[in-house]
Amino acid sequence: MRPIKSARHIFFLEISFLLCLIFSSVSYAINTIQLSLEQLLIQSLSDPAIKTSKLIQLLHLKNLMLNMDIQSNPMSFTIDLSHLDLPKPYQRITQLRINCHDLSIYDQKITCKKGNLKFNHVSDPKEQFINFSFSYDALNTELQLTFHHLKIGQGTIAFNIQLKEPVWHFEMTAVNLNMDAFKPYLHYYIFEKSHYNLELLDNTSGKVNFTIQSSGIISSQKNSNLWLKSARITAQFNDVRYQYDDNMGDNIALNIAVHIKQKSQKRNPLLPSEQFNVQINMNHIHGEIFQNDLYIVPTGQEKLSAQLTYHVQQKNILLSDLNLHSKQLFNIQSKGNIALKKLDSIQKMDIHFNFMDLAKLNQLYISNIVSDSDYEGLEMSGKMRGQLVKYNNKMRCAVHLDKISVMDTINKQFSLTELTGDVYWNNSEQNKNPVTKSQLSWQQLTLNQLPLSPVTLDFSTHHNQLFLEKEVDIALFDGALHINHLDIDAIIPQSSNESFTLTIEGFIKPISLKLLSQHFNWPVLEGSLSAVIPAITYNEKNLKMGGAMMLQVFDGHIIIKDLAILDPLESYAQLSANIDLNNLDLKSLTKTYDFGEIQGRIEGKLTQLELNAWQLIAFDAYIRTPKNDKSRHQISQRAIDNLSSLGGASGLLSRSFLRFFETFRYDKIGLSCILNDQICQMSGVEKKGDSYYIVKGGGIPRIDVMGFQKQVDWHVLISRLKAIQQANEAVIE
């Protein structure tokens, strides 16, 4: 006789003894038998000498009845159970009936080849039906259980369980399963024990096909648990939709494969580990995603793969490799350390990127991302590659740019042609010395239609700042913009108290006003433009000038003060400034605008100047003959007629004997305008009754030009000035 070596054999012998009694009762014409297994199991489990399966101890059985047909061949049985309490999140099963129509018991092994199971679940009032088979080998403590074709909504699942203590295996296949079916399990295992947004889970829907193959161990600890050792998951998601806050996704489809493997304990491989190696592969991504104000439409060519280690206790992910790529378009590789306790905490990240075709990348992705933003209509081409390393709040990067061209096709305020070079940056405070020097060059840069010719810029970075290494000339028409100082502070702001700030100083080498005016389609200007540029700062879409800019033009000076521009690169920019005109030559000025020649000097002020979308909104301005001006004061007949038309009259000379004189002397000349609500409040150098002097005559013959219209519509005034420039008679109404 084989000796009894374990308590499991004692338990099996009790069952066998019971079955022998049943079989022996055939001689007494007993065809079927019904008995309760509840008391038998309770008695067996309560015996300290019997240590049955840890898995069985997890079950809470109530009113379990066994019905056996001992006459049938093969034998059959039915088990009825009023309810079965499963651990969270599976909840209670009621009215459970298990039928087996092909039962065999042989050599301490119980097998059911054809079985079915009916039950009710608290989450679904409809009766569930599923086929199954199982076998239990008491000698080797081995259990195998297979369920076939369990229908859940429009989908089905099937799974297989194998137990050979302390090892378990589990396989599951789902077809066309609604994601709502496993939301309770995601809620319990992932969302309930983390800081993730439950709104995302509740507002997510879709269909999924997946297979799961997993294995693990049954813990021998006091509180029995099933520990995962490895798992393989492949899934295909279709028609996925989600929404939370202002973020949403629609008609998303993708394939994903996940391989999870527990890092074994060196001392005892059977003990559970706190770390898992995870490999993820994702492809065939389609749909529409609107996330954090970015609109993304995957093309299906993107592929994502990742290898990481997940530490359960620390809730930390060590990313050893992540690769996102699309063939011949882009490739992004990264590794790092992410703390899940804080969703936005990336402790360390090392990213290598290569964009092989920016034109196609812009067409497929960027144009959608910047849609309905200030950058809509942006076109680009070229290549870019580099590395970005982040450690807590510190960052360093190296980027190589290869003939990148960018153009604003809607506002046409910005274009850049063939930007090439290398940029190195490091914002670490521990880096006391600047990093490798950077260099950028372009073929042409256009800002607000102003073309800047080819140039090479040498600069370096230190901490979160950028400095121009040496002064540079940027050719502009026949002159140049000379930059002697340029720096950028807070390239990437680290807090709410910091903001990107650009500061530039320099001067303008003489530029032909004729070329400048022709480029902007202005009236042709004579002479040249040169200027000293004080510190100009661009900060948070605001451009401000720290001092006064002096322009040398018309043999005098124009001084611009208090210059401020909001959104200077946009068509809706807003500008404010104060301008002084010092000792300008009227002869050069009037000749430029074909106004009629006026000799002499002029001064003036333009205060409270306001432009909106580059259109004049308001100002307070005057021009006049400077006091003690010693220059020759001479005015032509044509200039008198044009000034007369501005004051409310025209053709005065043609109706008098003065028409025979070509020029006249004058004492002083002046005109002022206060623009408000598109109305210009006009006056001259002196008042005379209800009128005002525009030109106060001097010498013989003497002529005065008077103004009679004190309020003039601004648009009408502009149209009359254009007509004067074209040498046409104008009458202001």
Q: What is the DSSP letter of 363?
A: I
Identify the three-state secondary structure at position 23. Answer: helix
Name the residue with tokens 């009408």: 716
pLDDT at 115 over 80: yes
Question: Quick check: pTM over 0.85?
Answer: no
Sign of CA dihedral 281, 286, 290, 293: positive
CA distance linking residue 557 with residue 550, whole number of Å: 7
For 167-204, give the DSSP string. Answer: EEEEEEEEEEEEGGGGHHHHIIIIITTS---HHHHHTE
> Stretch 137-165: mean pLDDT, rounded?
85
pLDDT at 17 over 50: no
Q: What is the pLDDT of residue 11?
A: 43
Backbone angles phi, psi at 110, to 5 degrees: -110, 130
CA distance linking residue 251 with residue 240, whole number of Å: 5
Q: Where are the domains of the chain?
A: 1-152, 554-725
Q: What is the pLDDT of residue 726?
A: 61
Instruction: Kindly state the tokens that stand for 298.
Output: 């995957």
Query: From the CB of residue 353, how many other CB atoms can be counted at a distance below 10 Å?
Result: 17
Q: What share of the chain is helix, strand, coil (3-state, %, to 5)?
A: 15, 55, 30
Point out which residues pair with 7 in neighbouring strands: none
The answer to whether 122 touches 150, Cβ cutoff 8 Å, is: no
The answer to whether 162 touches 146, Cβ cutoff 8 Å, is: no
Q: What is the pLDDT of residue 87?
A: 63
Residues sharing a CB contact under 8 Å with residue 436, sequence separation 6 or more, in sequence order: 398, 424, 460
Any idea which of 452-466, 473-487, 600-614 has the lowest mean pLDDT? 452-466
Where does the pLDDT of residue 193 fall: very low under 50, low under 70, confident under 90, or very high at 90 and above?
A: low
Q: CA 409, 415, 418: angle at the middle one, nearest 5?
A: 125
Q: b or e along 555-583 (b: 16 or more beta carbons within 10 Å of the residue's beta carbon)?
A: ebebbbeebebbebbbeebbbbbbbbbee
> Stretch 599-625: mean pLDDT, rounded?
92
CA distance linking residue 229 with residue 261, whole number of Å: 6
Backbone angles phi, psi at 5, to 5 degrees: -100, -15
The answer to whether 582 touches 559, Cβ cutoff 8 Å, is: yes
What confidence tens digit (pLDDT) does each residue in 250-265 have? 999 999 999 998 876 6
pLDDT at 126 over 90: no
pLDDT at 704 over 60: yes
Q: What is the pLDDT of residue 23?
A: 39
Q: What is the pLDDT of residue 232?
A: 95
CA distance linking residue 291 with residue 295, whole number of Å: 7
User: Burial level of 132, CB count in 10 A (0-12/13-18/19+)?
Assistant: buried
Backbone angles phi, psi at 661, to 5 degrees: -100, 135
Q: What is the pLDDT of residue 299?
A: 85
Q: Helix 637-647 vs helix 714-725: angle between axes, to the nearest 10 degrees?
A: 170
What confidence tens digit (pLDDT) does each residue in 590-607 have? 776 667 888 999 999 999
User: Burial level of 444, CB count in 10 A (0-12/13-18/19+)?
Assistant: middle
Q: CA 564, 568, 572: angle at the middle one, nearest 5?
A: 105
Point out which residues pair with 671 in neighbouring strands: 623
What confidence tens digit (pLDDT) does each residue in 705-716 have? 888 888 888 888
When comparing pLDDT for 243 and 270, which is higher? 243
The answer to whether 635 touches 642, Cβ cutoff 8 Å, is: no
The answer to whether 512 touches 579, Cβ cutoff 8 Å, is: no
DSSP collapsed to 3 states, 394-409: EEEEEEEEEEEEEEEC
How many residues are listed for the chain in this entry?
Answer: 733
| Helix ranges restricted to H, 227-373 | 358-361, 367-369
> Stretch 359-388: mean pLDDT, rounded?
83
Q: What is the pLDDT of residue 140?
A: 81
Of 433, 440, 487, the closest CA to residue 462 belongs to 433
pLDDT at 225 over 80: no
How far from 724 is each of 339, 418, 526, 633, 720, CA to CA, in Å? 72, 44, 18, 21, 6
> Stretch 568-579: mean pLDDT, rounded?
87
The answer to whether 328 touches 354, Cβ cutoff 8 Å, is: no
CA distance linking residue 155 with residue 175, whole number of Å: 6
Q: What is the DSSP letter of 523?
A: P
Identify the three-state secondary structure at position 431. Answer: coil
What confidence tens digit (pLDDT) does each residue in 276-328 have? 889 999 999 999 888 777 778 888 888 999 998 888 777 778 888 889 998 88
User: Burial level of 670, CB count in 10 A (0-12/13-18/19+)?
Assistant: buried
Identify the three-state secondary structure at position 374. Answer: coil
Give the whole-number percent of the chain exceeding pLDDT 70. Answer: 77
Where does the pLDDT of residue 190 fall: very low under 50, low under 70, confident under 90, or very high at 90 and above?
A: low
pLDDT at 16 over 70: no
**CB hemisphere CA count around 641 (13 angstroms):** 24
Identify the three-state secondary structure at position 727. Answer: coil
CA distance linking residue 395 with residue 283, whole number of Å: 30
Of 616, 590, 620, the closest CA to residue 602 belongs to 590
Q: What is the pLDDT of residue 443?
A: 92
The answer to whether 251 touches 203, Cβ cutoff 8 Å, is: no
- Average pLDDT, rounded, for the chain: 79
CA distance linking residue 497 with residue 490, whole number of Å: 10
